[in-house]
Structure formats: C-alpha cells, structure tokens
Amino acid sequence: MFIHLLGKRCNRGVEGGIDAGKIERTRNAGVPLMLQSRAQKSAVFRFSPAGLSQAARRDQAPWWETFQMAGDATRFDCKVAIITGGAGGIGAATARLITARGGRVAIADIAFDRAQVLASELPGALAIALDLESETSTEAMIAKTVQHFGRLDVLHNNAALLGPDIAQADGDIEHMDTALWDRTFAVNVRGTMIACRAALPHLRATRGNIVNTVSNLALQGHVIQAAYSSSKAAIIQLTRAIAASHGKAGVRCNALAPGMTMTPALREAFPPALRQVVEDETLRDQLGDPEDIAEAAAFLASDAARNITGQVLVCDGGGASHVPGLSGFRTFFS
C-alpha cells in the first residue's frame, strides 16, 4: 500500500509506518537515475520496496548533476518527527511547517486535548499524551510513534516546565524553592534525556537527528528564572554529549536557543513592561513569533543542516549578541 506525500509515494510497512527503502528518480529524458533514499528531491519519485540493483555514486557525477540530485534538502518527504510541547506555540508552528514540507508528525503534549485538535488539522498527524515527569510516559511516546509510523527521523524536544505560576516562583538562587528546582530539572533535563535515550536506537536506524529547544537565558546571567535557565544550560551540554557519542552512527544533535517569543504562554506570563525591556534590547524591529523559531527548528532537523551537529543556534533577534544596555546607548547617541 502506498501513501502520497507531495509527489512522492512512500511504501507503508506492516505497522502502518513509512519504509523509505530505495528511491528511483526518473529524469525528463526518461533515463532512470538511482539515488540513495536520504536525499530529498523536488521531482516525482516512485518507491521500490525490494530495493534497487544499483545506486548512483555522487562522487562520480558531474557537479551540475550533483546539484540536480540534491533537490530541496529542507523537505521532510517520508520522514517522521516527534515534537514535544507540540500542541501550541513554537511546537505547533514547527508541526505545521514540517507537515507542509512533506513530513509526518507526532504531536506530544501534556495538553492532550489541544494536541488532538491540532493533529486533526494536519494530514497523517498523531496526537500523544505526554508527561515528561514520567519515565513511562516519555518512553511510551517513542514506542507509540514508531509503532504507528514504522520509523523515527527527528526528535524535537521542545516541551518545558513553563507557565505564569512557575515563572513567578522561579526567581534567584537565594530565594529558590527546592521543590521547584527539582521539578524544573525533572521535566526539562531528565525528561529530555529519557526521550533522547529511547529515541536514539531508532535514529541510528534512519540516520536521524535531535533538536533540543533551549533558551538564550542559558547563555546569560539573569536576576530571575535561575532554575529554568540552569536547566536549559544543562540541555546544551546534553546536546553536545549526544553529538559526540552518536555522530559516527549518523545521528546529529543540535540545540536551538530562542529569545523571548510571542507565544500565548509568554503573553500570559510576562507583563508588558518586562516585554518592552527585552524588545528594546532586540536588534530586530520586533520580538520573534513562533513561526520564526519553527523555521530555525525545521532547518536544523532537515538534511540542509547535515553538516551541523553539537551546536547551539541562537534565534533571538540578536538580543544576546551585543553589549548590555544597548537601548540606553541608542537613546544617548540619538
């Protein structure tokens, strides 16, 4: 049985998953060109479940044919991505974008009702209830995805412990509540580690990758959010560790560090006066939207970023790139 993904037919396995197999691309001249399944193409493809007798060797092809082979490496045709915290904000924007680029997504969120609503809007999407504080729930997320789709290519760890009450309680270290600190690390760090641990055997098989959402607060000191920023800094090191240990197995791992992003949760958690302080220090003429961060996440998850691993991509409109008090300097010199 075949399913159509924007001009490409993907052979579905016995578990209902996508078996990329081998790809046969037919040129306009009618001469078949055999390619490896990892390459993303922009022409029409057909799958041969049993594989093909030959494979094109790119190092023997002229440079112009190599570019023709590459196609659009930002696409996710026949790939499967898990997005935690996928029911809203950055996660939802990323789920929509990856789907639009030919992928299938598992939307994992503690807000399962919202995940189901979004999944109903995206072709082939799967909603999964996820509690990152639970090892069982986190491991089940990976298992359900692989059982449903038959493969896993991308794990986007985007969920975090956030919300108005959490943000208000997460202050400096002197006044830190131990229970809040422990819960923040249980969800953000331990939960991310368990998800990565469960996903890595499957990502080895597909030569897939992990994208961990962190924060530009992980790169800076602040008078608030000590627990949150410390947990995100720990995830950066987790990212580097996975990139080092699994790179030779074909698995990439990168971190994405947004700045203040205008999600519904942020609008609820931060008063306008504090948002204005951050906006004044942003080099763009506005704060980022979820769609801005989704573009960066999708890039890191795609084959277009195939030579990038172990890195932190800061996506904060330049807020972390300059000297402190830039807004005041602007005012002074104007």
Active site residues: 228
Between the CA of residue 298 and those of 20, 98, 253, 295, what are the distances in Å? 20, 7, 13, 5
Among residues 65, 73, 187, the alpha carbon closest in space to that of 137 is found at 187
Q: Would you state the structure tokens that stand for residue 291, as one six-digit string?
A: 């769609």
* DSSP states of 94-118: HHHHHHHTT-EEEEEES-HHHHHHH
**Which residues on neighbouring strands pair with residue 46, listed in sequence order?**
24
d(CA 322, CA 216): 13
Q: 297-325 burial by CB neighbour count: b if 16+ within 10 A, else e?
A: bbbbbbbbbeeebbbbbbbbbebbeeeee
Q: For residues 203 and 249, what is the distance between their CA atoms, to the nearest angstrom?
A: 9
DSSP class of residue 317 equals T
Q: Of 294, 244, 290, 332, nearest to 98 (Cα)?
A: 294
Residue 243 · residue 196 · CB < 8 Å: no
* Residue whose tokens read 């997504």: 105
- 8 Å CB contact between 260 and 270: yes
